[in-house]
Structure 1
Amino acid sequence: MKLYHHPLSGHSHRARLFLHLLALDHEEEVVDLAANAHKSPQFLRLNRFGQIPVLTDGNHVIADSNAILVYLTKKSGDARWLPETPLEAAQVQRWLSVAAGQIAYGACAARLVTVFGRKFDTEEVIGRAHASLEVIDEELQSRDWIADIGSSHPTIADVALYSYISSAPEGNVDLSGYRHVNAWLARVEALPGFIEFQKTAAGLRA
């Protein structure tokens, strides 16, 4: 397997993190975003949307970070990361949607302003980040992991949410008031095989 990624991309990090948590043998190739390598004809053959990350596995090409998490779970055969029962699978999917929705348009977008110079309404995206963090903090009051499936093991929902929540301070989103979120971040970081998301001196980390 080979993962095409960028070290400052949270979408890339969630795929890299999961590969390492599963201890799956793979190669990694950095895509030069500054040189628009993700828009090159060669890369567009892997992902027509020109987005990272992309995972190749033999003749299979899997684009989209959450799709990669699902693929790797099935590849590993470890159903603890994505349970098979309808209700449990739906609970995990709910939080994958949050990662692709509220987190992407909140904490992720706020970080894109400071790290990559994207033109978003700063007040709006920081407000969205805090709104989603308040919900997540309340959810984590009663359990260790985000999907409500009564399990002592994390799921791919935790992997999907981790990168942009952990890096939220780079987008001027203060995490200090979210006790349960911070405890959850520490639990993720204590997992065997954990790899850190590369930090930048931006926002509250400047």
Structure 2
Amino acid sequence: MNPHFPAGAAPVKLYRNPKSGHCHRVELMMSLLGVPCEPVDLDMACGAHKAPAYLEISPFGQVPAIDDNGTTLSDSNAILVYLVRKYPDGRGWLPEAPDAAAEVQRWLSVAAGEIASGPASARLVTVFGAPVDHEVAKAKAHRLFGVMEPQLRRRDFLAGSGVTIADIAGYSYIAHAPEGGVSLAAYPAIRAWLARIEALPGFVGMVNSPIPEGT
């Protein structure tokens, strides 16, 4: 339990799809921080994410969203910022120094850009049957990994020597890239980075999907 979590307060509700990497990054952050979590799985196939009550919490009808004892918020990266500012544990998840904070923000932008259009989109095809160009998404993923690999040979984490929310935002879809047909075999530094995150106290994994043969 995080000492900054109010005694007697209800767990933070996490509205999610358990196979969503966006949702997993929030669940992982909460676990690493020791913030009690109450998962609320939405039946998105039946339109639960478009119900009026849910749109009050997440106006774009997307997951994840949280309800922290009356404070509601959507967008996974925004939620990461909120959690580490409200429930700090002294690790330095979001640095104060301008240059370090900017480096974290750069990787949050990558999570919303290159990661979303690369490994996340490739996985959408194989796990959810999304009408996305699979070959284009896989090519984008490999271009991204080609940039990340040499950087992670020089430092342990995306934004420097210490773990930050940049790593949590990047982890889920990259760790599960093989589910989208994107092999990590050629990227030992990326695989070592994933292992460092998985070794953090409080780490929790995401639901696995069948990995296509040949990856």
Quickly name the TM-score band, shorter chain normalised: over 0.9
Deviations 1:65-89 (CA, angstroms, capped at 9, x unpaired): 0000000010113461000111110
Q: Where in structure 2 are the equivalents of 1:118-129 lying within 5 Å?
A: 118-129=130-141
| Deviations 1:83-136 (CA, angstroms, capped at 9, x unpaired) | 011111000000000000000000000000111111111111100000001111
TM-score normalised by L of structure 1: 0.95
3-state SS, counterpart of residue 67 of structure 2: strand
In structure 1, the residue matched to 2:158 is: 146
C-alpha deviations, 1:135-194, integer Å up to 9, x for none?
11111011110103xx3x300000000000000001100100000000011111111000
Distance between the aligned counterparts of 2:202 and 2:208, measured in 1?
18
Q: Which amino acid aligns with 1:180?
A: A
User: Which amino acid in the other structure matches residue 207 of structure 2?
Assistant: Q
CA contact 2:27–2:37 (8 Å) conserved in 1: no
Which of 179, 184, 205 aligns to 1:170? It is 179
Which range is displaced more, 79-88 or 124-133?
79-88
Q: Is the partner of 1:83 in helix, strand or coil? A: coil
Asked whether 1:29 is paired with 2:44, we answer no
CA distance in 2, matches of 1:100, 1:32: 24
* Structure 1 unaligned spans of 5+: none
Counterpart code for 2:52: P
Cα distance in 2 for partners of 1:9, 1:205 equals 23
Give 2:202's match in structure 1, choosing from 176, 193, 196: 193
Q: Is the 8 A contact 2:156 2:193 kept in 1?
A: yes
Query: Distance in 2 between the 1:137 and 1:33 partners?
Result: 35
- How far is 1:39 from its partner? 1.0
Alignment RMSD (CA, Å): 1.4
**Is the 8 Å Cα contact of residues 153 and 189 (structure 2) preserved in structure 1?**
yes
TM-score in terms of structure 2 length: 0.91
Q: 1: distance between equivalents of 2:115 and 2:150?
A: 16
Pairs aligned (count): 203
Aligned equivalent of 2:149: 137
One-letter amino acid matched to 2:175: S
In structure 2, the gaps of 5 or more residues are 1-11
Against the structure 1 CA distance between its residues 75 and 205, is the aligned structure 2 distance closer, same or farther, given a 3 Å change threshold? farther
After superposing on structure 2, the runs of 4+ consecutive aligned residues of structure 1 that deviate more than 2 Å are 202-206
Contact map agreement 1:173 1:204 (CA 8 A) in 2: no
Moved more, 138-147 or 32-41: 32-41
For 2:197 and 2:132, how far apart are their aligned partners in 1?
29
Secondary structure of 1:176's match?
coil
Matched, 1:110 2:119: no
